[in-house]
Homo-oligomer: A and B are copies of this chain.
Amino acid sequence: MSITLKDIAEELNVSVNTVSRALRNMPDIGQETTNLVKETAARLGYRKNLAASYLKTTKSMMLGIVVPDICNPVFSYMYKGIEKICTETSYTLMLGNSNGNPEEESAVLSNMLDHGVDGIFLVPGMKNTQSHAQLENANVPYVILQRKFPGLSANFVQSNDYEGGYLAAQHLYQLGHRSFLYISAPMYISSAQDRYNGFMAYLKENDLAESAVQILECDSTRTGGYKVAKKWLEQQPGLDCLSATAIFCFSDYVAYGVYSAIAKFNLRVPEDISVIGYDNNEYSDMTFPALTTVDILPYKIGKQSAKIMFDLINNKNNNGEHIEAVISPKLILRNSTKEVSP
């Protein structure tokens, strides 16, 4: 059907091996022959069969990416960051969504490994450590993004969640806030814990007690944020004497839900209560009010991960120790936070 090395070899009356080596610029093929082979290959429209090549070399030139949900802009920007570097080195990407589900995550990983990917990028779903074992057994390099396997070491790139929490606390404190609600993802997610630690660290530096921060958990979605915020508001002694003057949300998604809950109680952001998000979704400057948030720079995280991946593939990491990279987040000031009313 399509042109193979054999076709070129027959056309030129040389061996298949010569064609293969000529196309790969091997030094033991004469310059004239090399040129001739390349011209003929181009003329016939030869394209290398990468699967066949893989069979001999065990280099598939494919990398796998597993994310919870590609519709989440955080992950799609990570994807693009990774792709940016991969395109330069003509690696192709296989993508799979785990939907935050351990079984799906595991199935997708297996599938990619069966296809012989040369490496895997994984944004782990919740508490799934099976993936870790899978990846270790597979004997391919892998980079974990954003969420840590609890207690396990790996090549790892993440936004500095501690710093993000710290920045958020600093911003709110400087506006005069002294009582806070942190609507968090479940605390077994390392990011959730780290952000809390950073948040508390700033407050403690400024002599606030731990009791200054209430914590509520939900899954990082709009409905999650809505439900928790609604419940919290219902339990307040009165809408004019809320037990927190600022809400620190685990994600912009959560913040959107919080907006809705606050609106339901006829309160205003930021006059009655300040809200700060996390992630800086593409549209968070279009919300009303525009959402103050922390940008984790997912594109940068993706690029950094890919660079580490290629170091691993090219064996630059000869001592075998795991690499951990941390990207500093950026506070994005908008209109959902204001100084606390006197």
| Residues in chain A within 8 A of chain B (CB atoms) | 1-2, 45, 47-52, 54-55, 60-62, 69-71, 73, 76-77, 79-80, 83, 87, 90, 92-97, 104, 107, 110-116, 137, 139, 256, 259, 281-284, 286-289
Chain B residue at smallest Cβ distance from A299 = B71
Are the CB atoms of B51 and A116 closer together than 8 Å? yes
Cα A60 to Cα B282 in complex, Å, equals: 36
Are the CB atoms of A90 and B111 closer together than 8 Å? yes
Interface residue from B51, B93, B289 paired with A96 (Cβ < 8 Å): B93
Cα A139 to Cα B45 in complex, Å, equals: 14
Chain B residue at smallest Cβ distance from A71 = B76
Cα A113 to Cα B73 in complex, Å, equals: 28
Kindly list 20 other residue pairs between chains A and B, CB separation below 8 angstroms, not including A256-B283, A283-B283.
A47-B113, A47-B114, A49-B116, A51-B54, A51-B55, A51-B115, A62-B115, A71-B76, A71-B282, A83-B96, A83-B97, A87-B107, A92-B94, A92-B112, A93-B94, A93-B95, A256-B286, A283-B284, A286-B286, A287-B288
CB distance from A61 to the nearest CB of B (A): 8
CB distance from A41 to the nearest CB of B (A): 13
Chain B residue at smallest Cβ distance from A52 = B55
CB distance from A310 to the nearest CB of B (A): 17
Interface residue from B70, B110, B113, B288 paired with A80 (Cβ < 8 Å): B70
Chain B residue numbers with a CB within 8 Å of A281 are 283
Interface centre among A60, A77, A83, A90 (most CB of B within 10 A): A83
Chain B residue at smallest Cβ distance from A64 = B92
Chain B residue at smallest Cβ distance from A76 = B71
Chain B residue at smallest Cβ distance from A287 = B286
Are the CB atoms of A48 and B114 closer together than 8 Å? yes
In the A-B complex, the 3 residue pairs with the smallest Cβ-Cβ separation, listed nearest first, are: A288-B288, A283-B283, A51-B51
Chain B residue numbers with a CB within 8 Å of A70 are 70, 76, 79-80
Cα A290 to Cα B260 in complex, Å, equals: 12
Chain B residue at smallest Cβ distance from A61 = B115
Chain B residue at smallest Cβ distance from A111 = B92
Are the CB atoms of B50 and A114 closer together than 8 Å? yes
Chain B residue numbers with a CB within 8 Å of A1 are 139
Cα A33 to Cα B111 in complex, Å, equals: 26
Interface residue from B77, B80, B97, B287 paired with A287 (Cβ < 8 Å): B287
Interface residue from B60, B83, B111, B112 paired with A51 (Cβ < 8 Å): B60
Cα A73 to Cα B90 in complex, Å, equals: 26
Cα A60 to Cα B50 in complex, Å, equals: 11
Chain B residue at smallest Cβ distance from A60 = B51
14 contacts between A and B (CB under 8 A): A47-B113, A49-B55, A51-B52, A51-B115, A70-B76, A70-B79, A71-B73, A71-B282, A90-B111, A92-B115, A93-B95, A283-B284, A286-B288, A288-B288
CB distance from A123 to the nearest CB of B (A): 15
Cα A137 to Cα B45 in complex, Å, equals: 11
Chain B residue numbers with a CB within 8 Å of A259 are 286
